[in-house]
Structure 1
Amino acid sequence: PEDQRTATEWAESLHTSSTSLRRAFRNETGLAFSEWRTRVRLNRSLDLLDRGHLVSAVAARVGFTSTNGYILAFRKHFDCTPGAWVKARGEHIDSRPEHAA
C-alpha cells in the first residue's frame, strides 16, 4: 500500500504502455488503478487503527502524502472519520460480555 509508484511507472517496469496497463487493470479488477490503490490503502489502515496507531502514522504508513487526504478518503469510503471508526470499534468491543465489569 505504501508504494508510491504511479501506473505509468509500473507500466515502465513491466515493459508495457501505461494505457495498456490501465486498460488491463480495469478489465481485471473493475476499478481504475488509483481507485484500487486507495481501497487497498484504506483497508490496510483498518488493521493499523485497530492496533492503536495514531491516525497520522497510519496515513503515512499506508502511503497517503497527508493526514488530511487520508481522513477525506477514509470518510468518503467508510462514511466516517478514522477517529469515529476507532471509537465505534472500541465501544463495540467494550460492550461484549467478556469485557463487562
Structure 2
Amino acid sequence: MLYVHVNTASSAEKPLQAVHPASELLRALASPVRLGIVRELSGGDKRVHELVAALKVSQPLVSQHLRVQRASRIVAGRRVAREMEYFLVDDHVAHIVLDAIRHAAEN
C-alpha cells in the first residue's frame, strides 16, 4: 500500500474556506451518471446521443447531469449542426475521476 504524506503544517494554517472549491467540484461529480460522463468525455468530445448510448440512460437524464457539470465548469458544449457536442474543460478532472474508478475497482 502506498501512503502519501500531506504537509499538515501548512494545511492547518489555511482556513477551511480554502478547500471549498474542491468540495464544490467533488459535489458536481457525486453521481454515477456524472462520473460516467467524465469517463466517456476523457476519450474525446461526444454528442449527447453518444453519451446516452454509452451510459445506457435516458437523454433527459444525461441532459440534466450535463447542466450541473456545465454550471460547475467541468464540461462545455458547442453546437454541431442540430446537436450539442460536449467536451471536458480541464483534463485534470478526468484524471481525478479515472483514478477514483481504478481505486474503487481495487477494493
Tell me if both proteins adopt one fold, taking TM over 0.5 as the criterion.
Answer: no
Bigger helix fraction? 1
- Mark the structure with the bigger radius of gyration: 1
TM-score, scaled to structure 1: 0.36
